Amino acid sequence: MHALIVEDDLTFSEYLVELLKEKGFEVTAAMDGVRGYELSLKNRYDIFIIDVRMPLVLGTELAQALKQERPAARIILISGFADATLRRAAADLGVALLSKPFSAAQFLDLIDRTVVGHA
């Protein structure tokens, strides 16, 4: 399985990459939504993990663009600011939302549920 992580915090991105690699994923990382979108056009990914607050393009905007092109895309949004508005936006897009901070176990459990739920 191939995952794309779009996260502007390098340390946090590296942490997520390591967790997914330990789980057997091939992982690509992008530091902003524009680069993440460019990569999504060139490669096939089984799951997208996208931070909401990033420079250039918000994670919700990237998720919306991905869903328009690939309605069945498996997407997890992550945010330290998961308020009711963001939860509603994620639900409207049909994507999962994980609030920071979260544990490795919570992250990997959501990965499993998201991948299995769309398999």
How does pLDDT run across 19-41, given as a tens digit for each residue? 999 999 999 999 999 999 999 99
Identify whether 119 is part of a domain: no
> What is the residue range of 106's domain?
2-114
Residue 78, domain member (yes or no): yes
Closest CA to 59 of 112, 1, 11, 98: 98
Q: In this structure, are residues 30 and 51 in contact, taking their beta carbons and an 8 Å threshold?
A: no
Count of domains in the chain?
1
* Residue among 35, 38, 42, 48 nearest 2 (CA): 48
The per-residue pLDDT for range 78-100, each reduced to its tens digit, is 998 888 999 999 999 999 999 99
Q: Is residue 110 part of a domain?
A: yes
| CATH number, residue 71 | 3.40.50.2300
**In angstroms, how far is the first alpha carbon of the chain from the final one?**
11
